[in-house]
Amino acid sequence: MTTKIQILLLSILLLPTISLAMVNIISPGSTLNASNTNQAWSSPNGTFSLGFIPINPPTSPPTFLAAIVYSGGIPIWSAGTIPVDSAAYLQLHPTEGNLRLVSGSGHTVWDSATANLGVSSASLDDYGNLVLTRNGTIQVWASFEHPTDTVVPGQKFSTRHVLRNGLYSFRLLSNGTVNLKWNDSTAYWSRGTFNSSNNRTSPTLGLQPTGILSVSDPTLTRGAIMAYSNDYNQSGEIFRFLRLDSDGNLRIYGSDKGSGIQTVRWVAVEDQCRVFGFCGNMGICSYSGKNPICRCPSQNFELLDPKDSRKGCKRKVATEDCAGNLTMLTMEHTLFLTFPPQSLFAVEGSEIFMVGISSCRMSCLVNPTCDASTILSDGGGMCYYKMPGFISGYTNPALPSTSYVKVCSPAVPNASPSMRSDGWRMHAWALAMVVIGTILGLIALEGSLWWWCCRSSRKIGGLSLSAKYALIEYASGAPVEFSYRELRRLTKEFKEKLGSGGFGAVYRGVLADRTVVAVKRVEGIEEGERQFRMVVSTLSCTHHLNLVRLIGFCCERSHRLLVYEFMQNKSLDNFLFQTDDKPGKLLNWETRFNIALGTARGITYLHDECPESIIHCDIKPENILLDKNYSAKVSDFGLAKVATLKDHIDYLAPEWVQENAAITSKADVYSYGMVLLETVSGRRNMEVSAETNWKVLWAWAYEEFEKGNVVGIVDRRLGGQEVDVEQVMRAIKVSFWCIQEQPSERPRMGKVVHMLEGITEIHRPPPPKALNTLLPTATILN
């Protein structure tokens, strides 16, 4: 391993000199042998090379792929996907000009299909593109035009192209939407940045070297951004690439040059279990730690391939071979993924609305063409039938749905989770025995047994909890269900109150692994357990750098609690509005701007990128938390649905006080605009003083803006510090656009982000006219 790296380093060091002498033209007849993996065709500066790489994990006998590899060993393209033996070779045909991969048995496994097109040479460039050319210059074939599973910077991915991995595919549609499909039929993820009335002319998708995935077309100068990698614009020589992985997920990776180590920087489907078909037919996905695992629905099933649980499951007794009665196996908190076209088949092929879940079960049982059914407990009570075919399942304590599968009676459920945790206990016991046994030897066996008993029972309790906590590590998407007793214990009987938000008081708690959490007792919820689980499931899909993460929840009797990650630096208001009796750290301009941008990104995610759009309804500095690096994390979202809204909202958009006005995401834009102005100026929105000419903040600010005195709006306590005037200008203009009286005049949150970033031009904002309608409210709020 280390020698390999050394050789690599050496070759990187030597390359600049070598490449001067070497023009890397691959001439007809050139051959690479799989038996010699050191042989490669390299790009002029050595960043990329084409050669044989052993299949990972290794096979016996060894098999290979002919691949273009980034320095350090990251494959970005391969000649076909079928592994070949060590007698195989890759050759640019000496006379016909096609590049072909021939296996040891002489069979052509892959061919560039360029025979007799006059190809006279090939070359690999420093972006990783392998090109076959005629007459020295005319491109006949290029690997960028025939991608396999990866897109790299410099590569233009168009509507003609497709990334594939197994049954999964990734495409760009002509309207600028990208999607992921299973078996070319079921689209389980898509993202579009253009609106449907726009037919783009030949859009292309590209990954910029800084880590932005964007779609552009000739009519757009800057392109529409699809995704940011979370190391966006980080300095250093980082190679970023987009890959469709074998688990059906699309990811942006970053790799430090030459390291060969790839780190996930963005992922399309945050919750891996929501990738269609991840566990194969009839397989049920769940999480063990942060890893998704596949199991069968019950003991009526067995794995198709005991060595690979992702291949799916089959019934031990087929329904048609069942001697006794058929019955429906019931699976709580389990969902069968339903995407068009294979979703929702009712008896007549249309949606059906059921009164209760029992009829979802029964009507499938009596319907010979129904194999399984799933009911979403979202109030709509929609029951989805699954015809015999491919069924993909997901189970998670937070999922508010119940599923049924037809099996030959009797239904034998899987071992329950409590039995599994017994397994845990046994395991921990065995470990404790071995360790302590070795230390203590044979001394006082009885006494020490007693000692372990007391000690390890405590330890084991802790272990299962931290094992639970591990569940939510990163992209697992599954919050943990806590018992009320557990929460009482870890908050020390709700001793330390951190504050009280709009929906209830928040307490400090410490998990077994010493992670500090914030536990919120949700109040004012009249609805039942099912609705609360719905909320949790919505919240659990919201993973974003700028949103506070939900770690777990409790839903026991009348108790409704949410467990969030703890934010060291509390909320933004503590920093913005300091008083003489509450002095604190002053945030500099750069930090303020980043907080504003982060908040806008978080809200954009809630509005546009969540599986289900979420309107926050209560954006205010108190709900913008700051982590230890002063990054913004929006909190208290997603609860508006269950709690009674009245009296909660502080930054009311005018439409809230109008009768019959629809509340849309533009209400959030309004509150955001107010918060943005407060962030810039360090003054309360409704605070009126001589300094603001006895006007409310925005009215005064607009006056100053018209006078051309934007710097005068900035928090005067920043006097003397460096302030990026252009950013100030952008922030102030954006805030005026956000607080326009008419919701339709306000930009969408995604546009706000682009405006702040300076990607979108900002026109001069007209005066926000809401002064008259707002003043009475202002007095109430004060």
Ligand X SMILES: *[C@@H]1O[C@H](CO)[C@@H](O)[C@H](O)[C@H]1NC(C)=O
Vertex 379, ends 378 and 385: CA angle to 5°?
A: 65
Minimum Å gap between C-beta 503 and ligand X is 31
Rounded CA-CA distance 108/128 in Å is: 24
Binding-site residue total for ligand X (CB under 6 A)? 29
Contact 247, 275 (CB under 8 A): yes
Q: Does 197 bind ligand X (CB under 6 A)?
A: yes
Q: Does 196 bind ligand X (CB under 6 A)?
A: yes
Contacts 24+ apart (CB under 8 A), 58-62: 59/83, 61/85, 61/86, 62/86
Distances 120 to 130, 238, 304 between C-alpha atoms, Å = 14, 34, 49
**Of positions 155, 177, 414, 542, contacts ligand X by CB under 6 A:** 177
Please tell me whether residue 624 adopts helix, strand or coil conformation. Answer: strand
Which of 231, 271, 371, 618 is an active site residue? 618
For ligand X, the closer of residues 6 and 233 by Cβ is: 233
Residue span binding ligand X (CB under 6 A) among the ranges 104-112, 193-201, 718-726, 727-735:
193-201
Q: Does 199 bind ligand X (CB under 6 A)?
A: yes
Polymer length of the chain: 782
Amino acid letter, 486: E
Q: Does 192 bind ligand X (CB under 6 A)?
A: yes
Q: Mask of contacts with ligand X, 30-49, x by CB under 6 A?
A: -x-x--x--------x-x--
Q: Mask of contacts with ligand X, 64-103, x by CB under 6 A?
A: -------------------------x--------------
Three-state DSSP string of 503-526: CEEEEEEECCCCCEEEEEECCCEC
Q: Does 186 bind ligand X (CB under 6 A)?
A: no
Q: Does 173 bind ligand X (CB under 6 A)?
A: yes
Catalytic status, residue 618: yes
Residue span binding ligand X (CB under 6 A) among the ranges 168-176, 223-231, 617-625, 768-776:
168-176
Rounded CA-CA distance 250/438 in Å is: 48
Q: Does 116 bind ligand X (CB under 6 A)?
A: no
Touching ligand X, residues 388-447 (CB under 6 A) = 390, 409
Contacts 24+ apart (CB under 8 A), 616-619: 616/640, 616/668, 616/671, 617/645, 617/648, 617/649, 617/663, 617/667, 617/668, 618/502, 618/648, 618/649, 618/650, 618/651, 618/671, 619/651, 619/668, 619/671, 619/672, 619/675
Vertex 290, ends 286 and 294: CA angle to 5°?
A: 30
Touching ligand X, residues 47-66 (CB under 6 A) = 47
Strand pairing of 550-556 and 480-481? parallel
Is 415 exposed, middle or buried (CB count within 10 Å of its CB: 0-12, 13-18, 19+)?
exposed
Minimum Å gap between C-beta 135 and ligand X is 4
Residue 624 tokens read as 């913008």
Minimum Å gap between C-beta 127 and ligand X is 6
Residue span binding ligand X (CB under 6 A) among the ranges 188-196, 444-452, 664-672, 763-771:
188-196
Distances 208 to 250, 318, 327, 330 between C-alpha atoms, Å = 16, 51, 54, 48
Please tell me whether residue 254 adopts helix, strand or coil conformation. Answer: strand
Residue span binding ligand X (CB under 6 A) among the ranges 196-204, 220-228, 631-639, 733-741:
196-204
Residue span binding ligand X (CB under 6 A) among the ranges 140-148, 174-182, 661-669, 692-700:
174-182
**Of positions 27, 105, 116, 198, contacts ligand X by CB under 6 A:** 198
354: Cβ contacts below 8 Å, ≥ 6 apart: 360, 363, 375, 381, 382, 383
Q: Does 202 bind ligand X (CB under 6 A)?
A: no
Amino acid letter, 734: V
Touching ligand X, residues 619-648 (CB under 6 A) = none
**Of positions 3, 195, 219, 438, contacts ligand X by CB under 6 A:** 195
Please tell me whether residue 213 adopts helix, strand or coil conformation. Answer: strand
Rounded CA-CA distance 107/7 in Å is: 34
Touching ligand X, residues 134-163 (CB under 6 A) = 135-136
Minimum Å gap between C-beta 174 and ligand X is 5
Strand pairing of 168-172 and 162-165? antiparallel
Touching ligand X, residues 215-254 (CB under 6 A) = 233, 235
For ligand X, the closer of residues 51 and 509 by Cβ is: 51
Q: Does 126 bind ligand X (CB under 6 A)?
A: yes
- Cβ-proximal residue to ligand X, closest one: 196
Taken in order 756, 761, 767, 773, the sign of the CA dihedral is negative
For ligand X, the closer of residues 390 and 651 by Cβ is: 390
Minimum Å gap between C-beta 87 and ligand X is 7
Q: Does 664 bind ligand X (CB under 6 A)?
A: no
Q: Does 183 bind ligand X (CB under 6 A)?
A: yes
**Of positions 17, 325, 438, 579, contacts ligand X by CB under 6 A:** 325
Minimum Å gap between C-beta 663 and ligand X is 18
Q: Does 660 bind ligand X (CB under 6 A)?
A: no
Touching ligand X, residues 729-768 (CB under 6 A) = 757
635: Cβ contacts below 8 Å, ≥ 6 apart: 501, 547, 548, 564, 567, 623, 624, 625
Q: Does 608 bind ligand X (CB under 6 A)?
A: no
Rounded CA-CA distance 57/37 in Å is: 16
Site for ligand X, rule CB under 6 A: 31, 33, 36, 45, 47, 89, 126-127, 135-136, 173-175, 177, 183, 192, 194-199, 233, 235, 324-325, 390, 409, 757
Positions marked catalytic:
618
